[in-house]
Structure 1
Amino acid sequence: MSGTTERPTNEPSQPAFDESYDVVVVGTGAAGLATALGAVDEGLTVLLLESTEKWGGSTSMSGGGMWLPNNPLMRRAGAGDSRDEALKYMEATIGTPSASASPERKAAFVDGIDDFVETAERFGITFARAADYPDYYPELPGGKIGRGIEVKPLDSKILGTWWDSLLGAIPIPAKTDDVWLLGRAWSTPGGFVRGAKFVFRALGGVVTGKRLTGIGAAWSTAFGKTLMVDNNVPLWLESPLVDLIVEQDAVVGVRIMRDGKEVSVGARRGVMLAGGGFESNPSLREKYQGVHGSPSGNPGNLGVPIQVAEKHGAALELMDDAWWGASVQAVPGGTPAFIVGERSMPFSIMVDKQGNRFANESESYVDLGHHMLALDGGEGPYWLILDARHQHRYLRMFAMDPRANKAMKELGIAVKAKTLAELGSKIGVDSTAFRTTIERFNGYARSGVDADFGRGNSAYDRYYADPTQRPNPCLGTIEHGPFLAYKVVLGDLGTKGGIVTDTEARALRSDGTVIEGLYAAGNNSASVMGHTYPGPGSTIAPAAVFGVRAARHMARKS
């Protein structure tokens, strides 16, 4: 479709644009693609802009899950949930630490879930429930199990040539709830069955000539196919934002770089900033967070849209925070390996550089990251210690590549030893502290009760654990060698601070007034989740919901 229009000669005060559309979207992750979907549903013309040579953003690199309480799939399955329970849980976990996490914004998120899901389904996108995945604090008021949904694995050939430029385009038909069972594929009956199903699913795609893909790549494939293939929405790659175009205090377009020259694009209904966080910008991280971090998000997330919006008066919040977690240190030329299930399986323990435990190893990744920051500012290093039984029974997602394993050993990121004393010496922890920590932990493992940090008390802790391990599925003694230690650093899935927005994703000034024509969602905006992470997919879900809400609001504008 062509979005170009001629400016009437009787409107000399309005700038002349090289091209114009109803909606201009900066960024191609979940927030950007959902905004575009909402715009198409409203009959609006829309342009997608991507600053890098690859589209999809951190969404396409992710697990692809969305935490959507009281969603239509739950109701169809008879899974009990309600608006009131969702809001009660969000209040219990999030509170109101910022304007972005106000009661009104939390309600807007919950109230926008049906519209997002049902709109996507009308366009042929098929979702599946992660029925066994708990909220991250399921024991709190309103907590549930099974609120997460994702795009079902699908044939990526439907994207045509757009697949070639999708970031993280890996043809693996995995689902979110495959991961926790595949981790123990050869140690538990449930894991074996899931492993077999996964293999047959993959082989079925090969036999039928399909290039099946799942998780985050499936999310981007489904929405990309709907937009760029089915509805001819233009997507311009390598077209970074330079500035906003403002007329009479309203944003009316953008200036971008394309093919080596500056191009102006008009936006009759609005500009959506959905260009990700600033995790890959060391100077901004140092300025706002005091750490450089080890991000696992899109390397193209440099924070430019946030800086541009601030220049035009947008208020910022939560800039000191991120979607923190623990990562195995990257080898040169590689990326940090964000670890989740591996640290929750029994026969494992995490210690700091002195050799002491400092947190519940099975807790949510954001909580673990905050504990690292509280301990020593995230300086580290920390160590994930594995008994031989962990190494033999469970899959380590970060140790699948033999070349990377060799490099980790050579660089001291992976350290092996026959005895715990030898291991402690090799990784440089205090021998007395380390020995005391292991002995104390082993006592907890035998009794089944972690008296220090409560590991295994929550249903979330036990989700990634081994149900055959008694008496606590998260706890196993560290006593059988050879022992293996991995150097762990403070990691993240992206930053969560950005532009303050209202219930319709409109950008706000510090006095609460609206910047007309400017919208923000995803990690360009300050998160509705505040400083925490209520459940699986708490990044993608609000990005998508507020993207559609923004498009609806733009459509209502005269």
Structure 2
Amino acid sequence: MDAIRWDFSFDVVVAGSGAAGMSAALTSHFEGLEVLIVEKAARMGGSTAVSGGAVWIPLNADSAGAGHPDSHEEVWEYLSGTVGEASPADMKRAFLRAGPAMYDYMASREAFKLAARTYSPDYYPDLPGAAMGGRALDPVEFDGRKLGKRFRELRDPLREFLVLGGMMVNITDVHHLLGAGRSPKSFLHGARLVLRYWADRLRGYHRGTRLLLGNSLAAQLFHSVVRQGVPYWLESPIRAIHQDGWGRVLGVAVERRGAVVNIQARRGVVIATGGFPWNEALRGQHYPKPTGPWSMAPRDNEGQGIELALAAGAAMGTGHVSPAFWAPVSILERREGGPLRYPHLVWDRAKPGLIAVDASGKRFVNESASYHEFVKAMYGADPAPAIPAYLVCDHDFIEKWGLGLALPGGRPRRHLIDAGYLIRGDSLEDLARRLGLDAAALSATVKRYNDMAKDGVDWDFGKGGTAYNRYLGAPGHLPNPCLGPLAKPPFYAVRVYAGDIGTACGISVNEHAQALTAEGATIPGLYVVGNDMQSVMGGAYPGPGITLGPGLTFGWVAGRHLARAYSQQHQQENQS
């Protein structure tokens, strides 16, 4: 092949700036390598910045302090029951071995600060080895002002995580804001949040600088990138991977400022571009039917990294039980600004007084199951997939809890009704007519549900039957925090679709995050992490944070392996 004219040269080039990409970049830097991050979007943070931010790291150093001492035997038993053969045993072992080490390594270098949850059940708490807390960690609150002018280079969170047009809130904040008129403690909590927010806006920030959830994690990692002096290029998509005649990766071609430049990667390239949820062709190839543009992942995640890795000789992973990490999504079609998608993750579905029905007007799922299980049930509904499905509630429910984009507490909803997002009926029969459902079937479904709610036991689907279900229900609501009647008109509904929060199938890698060919051989110099990598969970969803936990971990693994390869080669050169 003709000699490549290199415009720039680094030890490592990382494509993508989510948690996995920044973990790989920071680790490579900490290990003494020269690193460049290239990011397709105009802002840093990737999917991480718009996520809930949970990080699942079993056996982490803080789990015992959170009241949940963990053991390898327990977590292995749990993964065997939830993931099983959907993921190779050596990959699961690599994750359990490297995850705690990554956490200690990054925390000691102040790359991020996380806090273990004192109570947060794994998603299948009745299975052997499940934990009631400790394995999931949350990013601590981060002050975006530490980024200075670079704060605008951080991807904004989802609008659904914002109030007042730009203030981030978590579940605790929401409870206080909703109770501000009843509790002096809640009023003071809410007042402090609002005053801080308006002070930020008066200082010229485009949104609040009190960062939470995944936006905090992305900001912490980005702050570390800036503090460490790791260079990064925004609006610079990777266009090609350069290889020699033996297949070794030499570098990449990147589009920057209207021109394509060649960047030598002396040690290797890390692909971390966020999977393919917005690649219609790949989605059509790997997703079940029907599928559509329903993802909550950033629109930039179009699978370029995976396509380039495939072109370089890598192979897609196999054996997974699901191609994506699912979430039911409702969609507001706006006249301006395009569709607005809302992920029904943890707020409304598990609360008492809501049911989900299919096109026949019948329930098909435990509404308080994990978002992943909910969509699996949508696809598995009989006799046809429940896509769309309908979340149905009454007046009291929507006033107390809201429904998707419809906020509680008497907030305006007419615009949502006029747009067709929120469907309102004066009676169940009227609601059924507006939804195109069989009125008699919907009424019979609600009657049976209400009868079960009186006794607190869902004999049909088990809503509220596990610790995880009840964790998301209404505290203090007895006898079942997830069951309550639908009784008071008017009644409301939203349509939900089979959305996702990212892809689970990706490039096959080994325990060092090296890309593999279909024959299982490594491609020298090519590493794949994050949602571009075949999930170590095999498309199963054992607990909160099973994308970010492995993403951070295998980014760290890649960076360490690149550094070891560098050290070994450097030692050999000195001896020769």
TM-score by length of 2: 0.88
**Alpha-carbon distance in structure 1 between the residues aligned to 2:224 and 2:151:** 13
Per-residue CA shift, 1:11-49, capped at 9, x if unaligned?
Answer: x98644211111110101111011112112111111101
Which deviates more, 131-140 or 195-204? 195-204
Per-residue CA shift, 1:444-479, capped at 9, x if unaligned?
Answer: 111111111111111111111013222111001111
Which deviates more, 439-448 or 111-120? 111-120
Residue 555 of structure 2 aligns to a residue whose secondary structure is: helix
Which deviates more, 451-460 or 116-125? 116-125
1:206 deviates by 6.6
**Alpha-carbon distance in structure 1 between the residues aligned to 2:116 and 2:403:** 25
Q: 1:364 aligns with which of 364, 370, 394?
A: 370
The equivalent residue for 2:563 is 555
Give 2:100's aligned amino acid: D
Residue 268 of structure 2 aligns to a residue whose secondary structure is: strand
Pairing 1:118–2:104 present: yes
**Alpha-carbon distance in structure 2 between the residues aligned to 1:467 and 1:432:** 33
Give 2:355's aligned amino acid: I
Per-residue CA shift, 1:502-556, capped at 9, x if unaligned?
Answer: 1111111111111111111111011111121111111111000000011111111
The equivalent residue for 1:331 is 333
The equivalent residue for 1:28 is 17
Pairing 1:133–2:130 present: no
Pairing 1:232–2:214 present: no
1:334 deviates by 3.1
1:106 deviates by 0.8
Change (3 A) 1:137 1:452: same
1:105 deviates by 0.7
**Alpha-carbon distance in structure 2 between the residues aligned to 1:199 and 1:252:** 55
Change (3 A) 1:550 1:14: farther
Change (3 A) 1:553 1:117: same
**Alpha-carbon distance in structure 1 between the residues aligned to 2:186 and 2:3:** 59
Pairing 1:347–2:359 present: no
**Alpha-carbon distance in structure 2 between the residues aligned to 1:44 and 1:422:** 65
1:388 deviates by 1.7
**Alpha-carbon distance in structure 2 between the residues aligned to 1:397 and 1:109:** 35
1:198 deviates by 6.0
**Alpha-carbon distance in structure 2 between the residues aligned to 1:421 and 1:246:** 64
The equivalent residue for 1:424 is 432
Per-residue CA shift, 1:28-71, capped at 9, x if unaligned?
Answer: 11110111121121111111011121221111001111111121
Per-residue CA shift, 1:153-197, capped at 9, x if unaligned?
Answer: 11101112222122125664545x637x739944999x9967864
The equivalent residue for 2:143 is 155
Residue 317 of structure 1 aligns to a residue whose secondary structure is: coil
Contact 2:180 2:186 in 1 (8 A): no
Which deviates more, 58-67 or 374-383? 374-383
Pairing 1:299–2:293 present: no
Give 2:330's aligned amino acid: V
The equivalent residue for 1:517 is 525
Per-residue CA shift, 1:359-409, capped at 9, x if unaligned?
Answer: 100001111111111227756221111122211222446224999944431
Per-residue CA shift, 1:93-150, capped at 9, x if unaligned?
Answer: 11112xxx21111111111122222222222232222222211111111101222112
Contact 2:181 2:187 in 1 (8 A): no
1:297 deviates by 0.8
Q: 2:389 aligns with which of 382, 393, 408?
A: 382
Give 2:34's aligned amino acid: T
Supply the RMSD in Å over aligned alpha carbons.
Answer: 2.7
The equivalent residue for 1:373 is 379
Change (3 A) 1:230 1:131: same
The equivalent residue for 1:94 is 83
Matches within 5 A, 1:468-547: 468-547=476-555
Residue 399 of structure 1 aligns to a residue whose secondary structure is: coil
Contact 1:355 1:429 in 2 (8 A): yes
Per-residue CA shift, 1:395-427, capped at 9, x if unaligned?
Answer: 446224999944431232211122111111111
**Alpha-carbon distance in structure 2 between the residues aligned to 1:91 and 1:366:** 18
The equivalent residue for 1:242 is 239
Residue 501 of structure 2 aligns to a residue whose secondary structure is: strand
The equivalent residue for 1:321 is 323
Unaligned runs of 5+ in 1: 1-11
The equivalent residue for 1:5 is none
Give 1:178's aligned amino acid: T
The equivalent residue for 1:73 is 62
Which deviates more, 152-161 or 205-214? 205-214
Q: 1:278 aligns with which of 276, 298, 312?
A: 276
The equivalent residue for 2:257 is 259
**Alpha-carbon distance in structure 2 between the residues aligned to 1:199 and 1:508:** 54
Give 1:243's aligned amino acid: A
Residue 424 of structure 1 aligns to a residue whose secondary structure is: helix
Give 1:270's aligned amino acid: G
Per-residue CA shift, 1:269-317, capped at 9, x if unaligned?
Answer: 2111000011112232123224224011111000011011112221103
Contact 1:74 1:80 in 2 (8 A): yes
Residue 556 of structure 2 aligns to a residue whose secondary structure is: helix
Q: 1:145 aligns with which of 121, 124, 132?
A: 132
Pairing 1:44–2:51 present: no
Residue 58 of structure 1 aligns to a residue whose secondary structure is: helix
Give 2:175's aligned amino acid: L
**Alpha-carbon distance in structure 1 between the residues aligned to 2:418 and 2:213:** 32
Which deviates more, 202-211 or 269-278? 202-211
**Alpha-carbon distance in structure 1 between the residues aligned to 2:527 and 2:210:** 34
Which deviates more, 313-322 or 535-544? 313-322
The equivalent residue for 2:574 is none
Which deviates more, 323-332 or 530-539? 323-332
Contact 1:178 1:194 in 2 (8 A): no
Pairing 1:412–2:420 present: yes
Change (3 A) 1:117 1:173: farther
Give 1:167's aligned amino acid: R
**Alpha-carbon distance in structure 1 between the residues aligned to 2:359 and 2:403:** 22
Give 1:138's aligned amino acid: P
**Alpha-carbon distance in structure 1 between the residues aligned to 2:100 and 2:359:** 47
Unaligned runs of 5+ in 2: 570-576
Change (3 A) 1:245 1:362: same
The equivalent residue for 2:175 is 182
Residue 242 of structure 2 aligns to a residue whose secondary structure is: strand
Which deviates more, 355-364 or 72-81? 72-81
**Alpha-carbon distance in structure 1 between the residues aligned to 2:8 and 2:116:** 41
The alignment of Structure 1 onto Structure 2 pairs a total of residues equal to 540
